[in-house]
Amino acid sequence: MTKSLARRNGADFRMPSDEELDSIAAYVLSIGRAEDFDLKKLKLHSGSARRGQKLYTDTGMLGEPGHKNCNSCHFNGGGTGA
Ligand code: HEC
């Protein structure tokens, strides 16, 4: 974590050791989901979450009112666009 926006190596931060990098990688790989789910098929319980899901996965024209199209840019890897 840098101490100032000057971001001077050795003064504002130091580079992590290989052991620290390995530990961070192990931590990041231990959290989160192991497999991607199909966002469009995901069953959500709350009405507002379902509205958000509809907006997020909407595929309409971005420039038209009511279309957010988030998923067209924010999709998981794997080529399904889900
Ligand atoms: C046209 C492509 C595009 C669309 C559509 C889009 N985004 Fe993004 N979004 C981006 C890009 C590119 C970034 C990264 C911007 C950056 O880092 O400067 C981003 C960043 C974000 C971030 C910040 C992520 C982070 O790690 O800080 C959030 C949250 C986000 N978008 C949510 C949404 C939501 C919600 C929608 C729909 C309402 C949406 N985006 C629609 C391209 C898009």
Say how many Å lie between the CA of residue 11 and the centre of ligand 1: 33
- pLDDT tens per residue, range 21-62: 999 999 988 887 777 788 888 899 999 999 999 888 888 877
Indicate the pTM of the whole model: 0.65
Going by C-alpha positions, the residue among 75, 71, 72, 69 that lies closest to residue 36 is 75
Say how many Å lie between the CA of residue 72 and the centre of ligand 1: 10
pLDDT of residue 18: 97
Residue 75 burial (C-beta neighbours within 10 Å; 0-12, 13-18, 19+) = middle
**The total number of residues written for the chain in this structure:** 82
